[in-house]
Amino acid sequence: MKVELSALTTSPQVKQVNNAASERIHWFWFASPQTFYPLAGRMVPWFVWLAVLLCIAGTYVGFFIAPTDAQQGDAYRIIFLHVPAAWMSMFLYVVMAFWAGVGLVFNTRLSSMLATAIAPTGAIFTFLALWTGSLWGKPTWGTWWVWDARLTSELILLFLYFGFMALQAAIDDPRRADRAGAILALVGVINVPIIYFSVVWWNTLHQGASISMKSAPTMAMTMLLGMLLMALAFWMYSLATILSRVRSIILEREWHTQWCKEEIRRAS
């Protein structure tokens, strides 16, 4: 299944395919770590700046424009961090599984490296969702931890991230680590909706209706806007850290190649 880039670009038969599906070839061109490395390096500062700007905008909307909630007071302002962190944690798991799957099927090294790079950032956002959820729960529910569906499934998601990272860390051969991680991530991503559904079901059976963060009585437009801005900020931050981590992973794995040696010489 290995895509031979040189064969693709030289063979006249494939040339036609090349034109027809130029978009795809374009992406495969960047699937090589050597071409992706400088591209990622150029993109990182942009994403950092976008993250900073969006974070400022989101904080401004969330803390200065959004009105105080009638029921929860100002404690609700935690959701401007909690909900975007929870969104990112779930989104990143799916993206991680996607790239791990692409790496497994097409045998593209860079996809697997991306999946490896996504895991720590995903785990961090899961942890932040749990931390902020707990701090939100204390004034709202009166306890630091409630076994509600959202917090419980975030906790399980954290376990899934830990499993992925622990498995990859335990395997010395990077290619085996990539594939083993991909199998686990694919099994995990099929399981995530099942786990979420079962936890919601378990929760409704055991404690009936509980206050949830979804039931903020009337979600004002400014609240939604603040959450959206913060989610975008976290997204840009994730892109920046993931790309930066992928660059490190590329160098760690390919330091013996000529282009990496030149790159390292130039950078240091």
Partner 1 sequence: MAHSVVQGRNSESVVIWSSWSEFVAMGGYGFYVWGSVAMVVVVLVMEMIMLGRRRRAVFEKSARNNGGGSETAA
Partner 2 sequence: MIGAMACVVRRDLALALRRKGDAANTLVFFVIVVSLFPLGVGPERALLQSMAPGILWVAALLSALLSLARLFEPDYADGTLEQMALSVEPLTVLMIGKILAHWLLTGVPLTLLAPVLALQFDLHADAIAVLCAGLLIGTAALSFVGAVGAALTLGLRGGGVLSALLVLPLFIPVLIFGSGAVVAVESGLDATAHLQLLAAFLLVSVVIAPWAAASAVRLALD
Both tokens of residue 5? 């880039």
Q: Is residue 45 near partner 1 by the rule CB under 8 A?
A: no
Among 159, 252, 255, 259, binds partner 2 (CB under 8 A): 159
255 lies in the binding site for partner 1 (CB under 8 A) = yes
Q: Which stretch binds partner 1 (CB under 8 A): 4-12, 92-100, 183-191, 244-252?
A: 244-252
Residues 71-75: contacts with CB under 8 Å, at least 24 apart: 71/217, 72/139, 72/140, 72/216, 73/139, 75/136, 75/139, 75/140
Of 86-94, 172-180, 209-217, 236-244, the segment contacting partner 1 by CB under 8 A is: 236-244
User: How far is the C-alpha of 18 from the C-alpha of 25, rounded, in Å?
Assistant: 6
Residue 192 and residue 160 in contact, taking contact as beta carbons nearer than 8 Å: yes
Using CB under 8 A, which of 33, 84, 101, 188 touches partner 2?
188
> Alpha-carbon distance 21 to 8, whole Å?
12
The item of partner 2, partner 1, none sharing an interface with residue 194, based on CB under 5 to 8 Å by kind, is partner 2
Of 50, 53, 167, 225, the residue at the interface with partner 2 (CB under 8 A) is 167
Residue number, 10 or 191, with CB nearest to partner 2: 191
> Ramachandran region of residue 107, left (φ > 0), alpha (ψ -120 to 50) or beta?
left
* CB 204, CB 1: distance < 8 Å: no
The verdict on 106 binding partner 2 (CB under 8 A) reads: no
Q: Is residue 166 within the footprint of partner 2 (CB under 8 A)? A: yes
Assess contact for 146 and 210: CB atoms under 8 A.
Answer: yes
Which of partner 1, partner 2, none has residue 38 at its interface (CB below 5 to 8 Å by kind)?
none
Residue type, 249: I
Q: Among 205, 209, 221, 267, which residue interacts with partner 2 (rule: CB under 8 A)?
A: 205
Query: Site size for partner 1, by CB under 8 A?
Result: 43
